[in-house]
């Protein structure tokens, strides 16, 4: 029957319909979308010592906004905001990513801070090196410079780097850094300082009075010493993800990457992911968050969530903010690591991609070797639902994803790793989305009859049976196996059932989907032969 041509048409002629687009595309052909959720600058930041003005973002809270570049994110969310830096991390790894950003309002409390106090005039030239969120800023000091001159120069250099998540001010010789957002997440920020002598000798400034070797001293205060790093402190009053989640209650984003690091807001995100994955919603998504907490605390966070659709990336004591490396992991999972010189493809190309050793283009390793995860901690993290970042073998100073896993490690309190890899979720979602679009296209306008006793298909057009539907699904699954996405379709065929329901016009299906695992472990013995 020609589309759009009535069977009762009487006027003679040749009528040919042109149908553009054909059958619905596979879910794998659609671009994968990333939603970044985090704080934005709702109001401008101004200060006087030195003069400083950071413009407010133009976006409204809890309003997903398409973002084509890091600079756009800086305009919409404010430069140096969580969203700005998350977007920059995504585009560095995945320049063509389809990104939306959604602002979460600050909690309205206190912004985290730390202080570096300089004393005594410089008696010779030297350099102050500032390590700030992956950036290295060198500030020259001339012989005779006063502590105020030194602090002013440092403040101006920091403020010139307007993508940083904090601002700088000085009072006499005290350099005060203050997070651009209020709340306890600012306590995860790290800034390190060193004196570099004229001969190139580097001396880290600590919480004890540290000599530059050229008269001036420096001392860190107002923050918190955490192992090998000095973190901001005093950030207080948690923000809430409730409004941001409510605003996307009916929208699908393939990956939602959130800056929250607290269990309350993470649980709001996971509840949203679970709700939209229900059969009546079918908006299957995955969430990615991060933590810089110590091993035991990070494990408690992961096991307390225990969710198949949630990934928690662990990078203890990172100089890169957790929301930034979470964003880059999310981007790398989709596109792979070619931007970092790697050779791994991502889930946007291959839902079953093996992401072991995925290189991150701009996330640095811990500066202190003692802060880097031990082999025991890496294995323990993987046993407890944490995705650890580990030092890269190929790119010294940077990190890779050890293995991309979900937080689900328990079933009824007992270890269970049936959904350990994020690829298990990605593959099953891919197959479900593909069957959704494929079956909807294949059976549009069809009628349903009973299985025939002679095994022959119905003679009338656009009529099908449960057995015919089963055969179509089996063929589609076989195609996914040929593409190395799932495996053992023939062996699992007995588990594929399509039966007519007691409700007229409905069939019920049980569709086996065995993900093709990555090759994660290869063991063997090397034996000397005499």
Q: Which residues pair with 118 in a beta bridge?
A: 218
The whole-angstrom separation of Cα 233 and Cα 184 is 8
CA angle 186, 190, 196 (to 5 degrees): 150
- For residue 472, say if its preceding peptide bond is cis, omega within 30 degrees of 0: no
- Sequence-separated (6 or more) residues with CB below 8 Å from residue 133: 85, 164, 165, 189, 190, 191, 319, 320, 321, 324
Q: Which helix (H) or strand (E) holds 411?
A: strand 410-411
Q: 341 and 285 share a domain? A: yes
pLDDT of residue 436: 92
Buried b (16+ CB within 10 A) or exposed e, 335-355: bbbbbbebebbbbbebbbbbb
- Residue 17 domain flag: no
- Residue 515 domain flag: no
pLDDT in tens, 296-316: 999 999 999 999 999 999 999
Residue 488 token pair: 């053992």
Residue 77 token pair: 């969310």
Q: 94 and 112 in contact (C-beta within 8 Å)?
A: no
Percent of the chain with pLDDT over 90: 92
- Residue 83 domain flag: yes
pLDDT in tens, 45-101: 999 999 999 999 999 999 999 999 999 999 999 999 999 999 999 999 999 999 999
pLDDT score of 349 more than 80:
yes
DSSP-derived secondary structure letter, 371: G
pLDDT score of 14 more than 80:
no
pLDDT score of 24 more than 70:
no
pLDDT in tens, 48-61: 999 999 999 999 99
- Residue 317 domain flag: yes
Q: 414 and 481 share a domain? A: no
Residue 256 token pair: 């939602």
Q: 400 and 259 share a domain? A: yes
Q: 358 and 265 share a domain? A: yes
- Sequence-separated (6 or more) residues with CB below 8 Å from residue 258: 36, 37, 38, 241, 265, 266, 269, 287, 288, 289, 323, 326
Tell how strand 65-67 and strand 98-104 pair up.
antiparallel
Q: 261 and 325 share a domain? A: yes
Q: 480 and 333 share a domain? A: no
Q: Which residues pair with 236 in a beta bridge?
A: 110
Given the structure tokens 């120069």, which residue do they identify?
A: 153
pLDDT score of 15 more than 70:
no
- Residue 239 domain flag: no
Last residue of a domain, one of 396, 424, 452: 424
User: Residue 310 — φ and ψ, nearest 5°?
Assistant: -120, 135
Residue 49 token pair: 């010592």
pLDDT in tens, 112-149: 999 999 999 999 999 999 999 999 999 999 999 999 99
pLDDT-based confidence at residue 414 (cuts at 50, 70, 90): very high
The whole-angstrom separation of Cα 200 and Cα 213 is 12
Last residue of a domain, one of 173, 200, 231: 231
Q: 134 and 169 share a domain? A: yes
pLDDT score of 12 more than 80:
no
Q: 345 and 402 share a domain? A: yes
pLDDT score of 37 more than 90:
yes
Query: Average pLDDT of the chain?
Result: 95
pLDDT in tens, 461-505: 999 999 999 999 999 999 999 999 999 999 999 999 999 999 999
Last residue of a domain, one of 231, 263, 287: 231
Q: Which of 82 and 280 is assigned the larger pLDDT? A: 82
DSSP-derived secondary structure letter, 163: T
pLDDT in tens, 199-253: 999 999 999 999 999 999 999 999 999 999 999 999 999 999 999 999 999 999 9
DSSP-derived secondary structure letter, 20: -
- Residue 315 domain flag: yes
Q: 261 and 410 share a domain? A: yes
Q: CA torsion sign, 172 to 178 to 184 to 189?
A: negative
The whole-angstrom separation of Cα 358 and Cα 271 is 28
Q: CA torsion sign, 383 to 386 to 391 to 392?
A: positive
- DSSP letters along 309-339, please? TEEEEE-TT-SS-HHHHHHHHHHHHHHBSGG
Q: 273 and 401 share a domain? A: yes
The whole-angstrom separation of Cα 407 and Cα 403 is 12
pLDDT-based confidence at residue 407 (cuts at 50, 70, 90): very high
pLDDT-based confidence at residue 1 (cuts at 50, 70, 90): very low
Q: Which of 66 and 6 is assigned the larger pLDDT? A: 66
The whole-angstrom separation of Cα 384 and Cα 380 is 6
The 3-class secondary structure across 175-215, one letter per residue, is: EEEEEEEECHHHHHCEEEEEEECCCCCEEECCCCCEECCCC
The whole-angstrom separation of Cα 301 and Cα 391 is 23
Q: Where are the beta strands (DSSP E) in 413-525?
A: 414-415, 447-448, 463-464, 497-500, 507-510
pLDDT score of 22 more than 60:
no
pLDDT of residue 277: 94
pLDDT score of 6 more than 90:
no
For residue 475, the enclosing domain spans: 443-510
- Residue 433 domain flag: no
pLDDT score of 30 more than 50:
yes
| C-alpha distance across the termini of the chain, in Å | 78
CATH number for position 204: 3.90.1160
SS3 helix, strand, coil % of the chain, rounded to 5? 25, 25, 45
- Sequence-separated (6 or more) residues with CB below 8 Å from residue 203: 194, 195, 197, 210, 211, 212, 213
pLDDT of residue 23: 53
* 23-30 average pLDDT score: 61
Tell how strand 286-291 and strand 310-314 pair up.
parallel
- Sequence-separated (6 or more) residues with CB below 8 Å from residue 76: 40, 57, 58, 59, 65, 67, 83, 101
Q: 124 and 95 share a domain? A: no
- Residue 281 domain flag: yes
Q: How many domains does the chain have?
A: 3
pLDDT score of 186 more than 50:
yes
Q: 68 and 164 share a domain? A: no
């Amino acid at each position: 029957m020609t589309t759009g041509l009535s069977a009762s048409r009487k006027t003679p002629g040749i009528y040919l319909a042109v149908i553009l687009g054909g059958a619905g595309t596979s879910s794998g052909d659609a671009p994968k979308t990333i939603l970044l959720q985090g704080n934005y600058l709702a109001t401008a930041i101004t200060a006087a010592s030195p003069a400083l003005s950071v413009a407010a973002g133009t976006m409204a809270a809890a309003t997903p906004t398409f973002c084509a570049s890091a600079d756009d994110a800086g305009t919409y969310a404010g430069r140096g905001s969580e969203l700005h830096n998350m977007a920059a991390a995504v585009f560095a790894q995945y320049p063509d990513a389809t990104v939306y950003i959604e602002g979460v309002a600050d909690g309205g409390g206190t912004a985290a801070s730390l202080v570096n106090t300089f004393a005594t005039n410089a008696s010779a030239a030297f350099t102050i090196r500032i390590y700030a969120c992956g950036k290295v800023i060198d500030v020259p000091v001339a012989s005779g410079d006063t502590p105020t001159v030194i602090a002013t120069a440092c403040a101006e250099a920091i403020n010139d780097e307007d993508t940083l998540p904090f601002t700088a001010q000085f009072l006499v010789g005290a350099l005060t850094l203050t997070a651009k957002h209020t709340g306890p997440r600012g306590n995860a920020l790290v800034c390190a300082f060193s004196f570099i002598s004229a001969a190139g000798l580097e001396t880290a400034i600590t919480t004890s009075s540290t000599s530059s070797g050229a008269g001036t001293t420096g001392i860190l205060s107002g923050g918190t010493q955490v192992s090998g790093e000095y973190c901001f402190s005093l950030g207080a009053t948690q923000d809430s993800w409730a409004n941001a989640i409510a605003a996307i209650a009916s929208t699908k984003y393939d990956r939602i990457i959130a800056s929250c690091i607290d269990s309350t807001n993470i649980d709001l995100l996971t509840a949203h992911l679970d709700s939209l994955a229900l059969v009546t919603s079918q908006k299957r998504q995955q969430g990615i968050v991060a933590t810089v907490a110590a091993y035991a605390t990070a494990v408690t966070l992961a096991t307390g969530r225990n969710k198949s659709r949630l990934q928690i990336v662990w990078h203890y004591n990172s100089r890169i903010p957790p929301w930034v490396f979470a964003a880059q992991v999310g981007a790398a999972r989709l596109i792979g690591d070619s931007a970092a010189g790697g050779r791994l493809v991502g889930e946007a190309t291959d839902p079953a991609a093996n992401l072991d050793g995925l290189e991150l283009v701009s996330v640095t390793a811990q500066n202190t070797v003692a802060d880097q995860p031990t082999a025991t901690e890496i294995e323990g993290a993987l046993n407890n639902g944490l995705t650890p970042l580990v030092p890269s073998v190929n790119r010294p100073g940077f990190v890779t994803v050890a293995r991309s896993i979900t937080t689900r490690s328990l079933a009824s309190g007992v270890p269970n790793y049936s959904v350990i890899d994020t690829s298990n979720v990605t593959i099953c979602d891919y197959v479900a989305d593909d069957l959704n679009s494929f079956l909807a296209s294949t059976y549009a306008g069809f009628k349903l009859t009973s299985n025939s006793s002679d095994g022959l298909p119905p003679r009338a057009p656009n009529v099908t049976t449960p057995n015919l539907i089963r055969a179509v699904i089996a063929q589609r699954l076989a195609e996914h196996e040929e593409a190395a996405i799932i495996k053992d379709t023939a062996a699992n065929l007995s588990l594929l059932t399509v039966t007519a329901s007691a409700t007229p016009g409905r069939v019920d299906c049980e569709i086996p989907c065995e993900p093709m695992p990555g090759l994660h472990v290869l063991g063997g013995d090397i034996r000397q032969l005499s």
